[in-house]
Amino acid sequence: MKQFISVDDVQSIHSLVTQALAYKANPLKDAGLGNGKKIGLLFLNPSLRTRVSTQVAAKNLGLETIVFNIDKEGWVLEFEEGAVMNGSTVEHIKDAAPALGSYFDILCLRSFPSLQSKEDDYAETIIQQFIKYAGVPVVSLESATLHPLQSLTDIVTISEVLKSSQTNATKKPKVVLTWAPHIKALPQCVANSFAEWMNAWGEAEFVITHPEGYELDEKFSKGATILHQQSEALKDADFIYVKNWSAYNDYGSMPAVNGDWMLTNERLQQTNNAKVMHCLPVRRNVELSDDILDGENSIVTQQAGNRVWAAQAVIATILNSNS
Amino acid sequence: MKQFISVDDVQSIHSLVTQALAYKANPLKDAGLGNGKKIGLLFLNPSLRTRVSTQVAAKNLGLETIVFNIDKEGWVLEFEEGAVMNGSTVEHIKDAAPALGSYFDILCLRSFPSLQSKEDDYAETIIQQFIKYAGVPVVSLESATLHPLQSLTDIVTISEVLKSSQTNATKKPKVVLTWAPHIKALPQCVANSFAEWMNAWGEAEFVITHPEGYELDEKFSKGATILHQQSEALKDADFIYVKNWSAYNDYGSMPAVNGDWMLTNERLQQTNNAKVMHCLPVRRNVELSDDILDGENSIVTQQAGNRVWAAQAVIATILNSNS
Amino acid sequence: MKQFISVDDVQSIHSLVTQALAYKANPLKDAGLGNGKKIGLLFLNPSLRTRVSTQVAAKNLGLETIVFNIDKEGWVLEFEEGAVMNGSTVEHIKDAAPALGSYFDILCLRSFPSLQSKEDDYAETIIQQFIKYAGVPVVSLESATLHPLQSLTDIVTISEVLKSSQTNATKKPKVVLTWAPHIKALPQCVANSFAEWMNAWGEAEFVITHPEGYELDEKFSKGATILHQQSEALKDADFIYVKNWSAYNDYGSMPAVNGDWMLTNERLQQTNNAKVMHCLPVRRNVELSDDILDGENSIVTQQAGNRVWAAQAVIATILNSNS
């Protein structure tokens, strides 16, 4: 694996999941793999779980880990080719990325979308420029349109639950991604990425439900059943992934929504005692009710904990591919 | 020791002090104790000595150490039970703490009081919620009402000075905590905590002096002699602990003060050549004069240096109790 | 070496350069040198290359490395002797530096000039106070008037290029430091420091070119040929170091400039196929054109990469001198 930007970079989801669960069972089993190697975690935006879990994962593999909040500890980068830099940007990605690349064996980058220009965001200009100029493997810590470490974690978590519940393996589990309300416009990253990974994984019946106007880019959602009635979608679900996103078509907007889309325990009645997932952070009682988050069906803490093992599997795979 | 939030968590102050001084003599004597373990230092507020000394302590024990400025590198946390999170808070402590707890063996947290609500601050809502939801031992890096790592350091420093001065051990040293002026309202943490620890330690004659209106919560000060005349309090003192705090009763206010409470070398004449302590940062020539801080009676640098050994003793004790 | 603040602290530039290139060939050859030692990187200002490369260098030597953004994670320091601290400064350098010094074996500090007071800046008040009170070796990560880690890197890079090009060693290379345009007033540090090091090194014909009004402090530039015509200066140059700086005489001002000082490939025609250097960050198409930075004559990425080896040589030399 030369980079980890989307599911397309992955040879075998199954292998990554197996490796992640092996690290969960034995975190330090490859404690010497990263000896003498360095990994840089670069942030253009805030982060909690991704920041901490990726550091833990890297340390478990013996890598020297350096965190750099480019936006706060450095300065504003320029990404436009040919820019005359007489404004607020201080350094061009073409100069910063090769310098950073020369210091590290692996670079990880978080950069959110602007939600202003669909074209720029969906071209993944920022992370693509990093990849182009850094000269070392790049791992996405969430980019403009995707969040692959989260999606790998999600499949690890679903696999883990299925294993422990020893359900009859002849029927694929039903996994529903449901849109949820929020007070501000959020990126489509987590939803895009989850859809992309679920479709590539193929080991679930995958349904997406959202209000009209919130259609995802078909590039990612194609292959899923898409429903506009949440109640219809939830029927017999084994897993419900709850997430808000803003509109893709009328880019970054928040079209008015009919009805109440916040999941509650009452709605879980229609499901097959579904486990409820969320990537966090979650706005309680806006996106998801207290009764679900504090109840027995929520697996959000297990899911958040698995971020470490997913990251560890990805970093180890890159180290093994490039040594 | 399951946590380190107040003196009540400590089995033996004497043992912690002995261990701290043993680490000062030989910092790396337990360099492998934390192997494979991880400690998280979480900050909701600024920090200098605590931030750095606790990292050094953890590294001396071989722990992987991750620092996370939640307020600056993450986002605003919600602490209210049942909150409808449609405002500025992005993640509830009920979701953030278990995730963070799953990444670390020990979590350390700094969270200052609001000084707005005595009830909330003195309920220690923030750190208590962390403890409730984190699921791993929590160490206070200063909470709303207490600063136990500082107080342990203070007793380590007093013990060290007494040892080196080989004073006649038959008489207990006189230790005076004196209020000092400041330009803004500060928490009562350091004063509360020092009082609590001195009373629990019991190896000194302990006097608190402050202007009227600056009474501390009796829960902490009970057992000390309390005087409103600084000059009376200072008489024959062996140690003077200088610190400002705002009012506890008229919570967070700064009642007008008669006379000048800033300690100077002249006032040291009344003492038994007292050593002068301060937790730092100190406002020079407001809280404490240059002539004292730059003079021979000040032990503030020795005291600041001892922060490492106090933290190391606490972390080691927790590791030994939970392994 | 007791400290690394200017070229005056260096016994032999040649030895440092040799050591830096040896580390580039074998980064981990002294991986145990810093065992049990701690280095603190303190920032009063933003940093990218210096921040990351110095951490990498320290880790290559086995030092425990702690980064502290004093300005953002701590509070505002006071540097004035005798100040009555009733304003915005929270802690005096006289109290902060000894505390920090007690935690570390080496302290590194970045502190930019104010560009308000030539006297204060050129007295190097901040870093000199740190040195005075810290009690441990101090390394400049760029101070008010100098940037010695950059200048050592620059000479390492020039030496490396000369070696690999196997030029006839009988003639000294011609190195030109040229002023370049910028949109805001920058410190003179990099230019001062480069001049100081080039003059001390003595292994190049050294020319400085800048518009009138941009004369550097003669303390640093004395010994160089100084020209006000860039085209004249560039003739037959082997290396061109491009950098903006504000005026030293009319301190911090930006006197009006005749003509265009931005270097382009066209101007390289006059040179001996000169290599182009810049310390970065660079304002593209303001200070330096895209065609140069993206062309074959630019060695800015090689130069940025060498920051690690220069820092590693300096830290190793300090460790070896003080053990």
Contact B52 C68 (CB under 8 A): yes
Residues of chain A that touch chain C, judged by Cβ-Cβ distance less than 8 Å: 36, 38, 40, 64, 66, 68, 70, 72-75, 78, 82-87, 90-92, 94-96, 98-100, 102-104
Question: Which tokens belong to C32?
Answer: 């145990």
What's the CA gap between A203 and A201, in Å, rounded?
6
Give the best residue of C85, C88, C104 to mutate against chain B (max B CB count within 10 A): C85
> What tens digit of pLDDT does each residue of A91-141 get?
999 999 999 999 999 999 999 999 999 999 999 999 999 999 999 999 999
Q: For position C299, what pLDDT does the model report?
A: 98
User: Which residues on chain C place their C-beta less than 8 Å from a C-beta of chain A?
Assistant: 27-28, 31, 43, 46-49, 51-53, 55-56, 59, 69, 72, 183, 280-286, 290, 293-294, 300-301, 304-305, 308
Res B170 pLDDT > 80: no
Write down which chains contact chain C via at least 3 CB pairs under 8 A.
A, B
Domains C7-146+306-321 and C150-304 share a fold: yes
Q: Which residue has the tokens 């004073």?
A: B167
With a cut of 90, say whether residue B323 has pLDDT above it: no
Predicted pLDDT of residue C166: 66
Return the number of CB contacts < 8 Å for B and C.
87
Residue C257, exposed/middle/buried by CB under 10 A (0-12, 13-18, 19+)? middle
CA C303 to CA A90: how far, in whole Å? 18
Q: Please give the pLDDT value at position A137.
A: 98
Minimal-distance CA residue of chain A relative to B135: A301
- The residues, any chain, with a CB within 8 Å of residue A140's CB and separated by 6 or more, are A4, A5, A6, A108, A109, A110, A127, A146, A147, A148, A149
Q: What is the pLDDT of residue A168?
A: 61
For chain A, give every domain's residue range. 7-146+307-321, 150-304
pTM: 0.96
Confidence band of B168 (pLDDT split at 50, 70, 90):
low
pLDDT of residue C165: 83
Nearest to A29 by CA among A4, A62, A56: A62
Binning pLDDT at 50, 70 and 90, where does residue A322 land? Answer: confident
Nearest CA among B37, B40, B121, B47 for reference residue B307:
B47
Contact A47 B92 (CB under 8 A): no
Bridge partners of A243, per DSSP, are A179
Residue A71: the pLDDT is 83
Q: List pLDDT tens digits, range B48-59.
A: 999 999 999 999
Question: pLDDT at position A169, please?
Answer: 64
Return the DSSP state at A206. E
What pLDDT is recorded for position B29? 97
- A170 pLDDT above the threshold of 90: no
Tell whether the model's pLDDT for residue A47 goes beyond 90.
Answer: yes
pLDDT > 90: percent of chain B: 96
Whether A85 sits inside 8 A of C286 (CB atoms) is yes
Give me the pLDDT at residue A321, please.
93
> How far is the C-alpha of A158 from the C-alpha of A168, rounded, in Å?
15
pLDDT, position C169: 64
Residue A43 has pLDDT above 70, yes or no: yes
Query: Under an 8 Å CB criterion, which residues of C touch B?
Result: 36, 38, 40, 64, 66, 68, 70, 72-75, 78, 82-86, 90-92, 94-96, 98-100, 102-104
pLDDT (0 to 100) of residue C67: 97
**pLDDT band at residue B169 under the 50/70/90 scheme:** low
List CB contacts of C26: < 8 A, sequence separation 6 or more.
none
Minimal Cβ distance to A86: which of C49, C183, C308: C183
Contact A265, A292 (CB under 8 A): yes
Within a 13 Å sphere around the CA of A70, how many CA atoms are in the beta-carbon half?
Answer: 24
Cα–Cα distance for residue pair C130/C124, rounded to 1 Å: 10
Global ipTM: 0.95
Per-residue pLDDT of A241-293, as tens digits, reads 999 999 999 999 999 999 999 998 999 999 999 999 999 999 999 999 999 99
Neighboring chain B residues of A30 at a CB cutoff of 8 Å: none
What average pLDDT does the structure give for chain A? 96
Reported as a pLDDT band with limits 50, 70 and 90, residue B282 is very high
The tens digit of pLDDT for each residue in A82-92 reads 999 999 999 99
Domain B150-304 maps to which CATH number in 1.25.40.10, 3.20.20.30, 3.40.50.300, 3.40.50.1370? Answer: 3.40.50.1370
pLDDT of residue A166 exceeding 70, the answer is no
Predicted pLDDT at C322: 74
Stretches where chain C sits below pLDDT 70 are 166-169, 323
Query: Mind listing the pLDDT tens digit for each residue in B215-266?
Result: 999 999 999 999 999 999 999 999 999 999 999 999 999 999 999 999 989 9
Q: How many CB atoms lie within 10 A of CB A273?
A: 11
Phi, psi for residue B48 in degrees, rounded to 5: -120, -75
- CATH 3.40.50.1370 corresponds to the domain A7-146+307-321: yes
Give the mutation candidate from A39, A45, A55 for the B interface (greatest B CB count, under 10 A). Answer: A55
A323, pLDDT greater than 70 = no
Angle at A62 between CA A57 and CA A63, to 5 degrees: 80
Specify the pLDDT at position C235: 97
Q: Regarding the domain delimited by C7-146+306-321, which CATH topology (the fold level of the hierarchy) does it fall under?
A: Rossmann fold (3.40.50)
Nearest-CB residue to B52 (from C78, C82, C103): C103
- Of C85, C96, C103, Cβ closest to residue B53: C103
* Residues 6 or more apart in contact with residue B113 via CB below 8 angstroms: B121, B144, B145, B187, B189
Question: Which residue of chain A has the CA closest to C293?
Answer: A95
pLDDT digits (tens, 9 = 90+) for C282-323: 999 999 999 999 999 999 999 999 999 999 999 999 999 976
- CB atoms closer than 10 angstroms to residue C231: 11
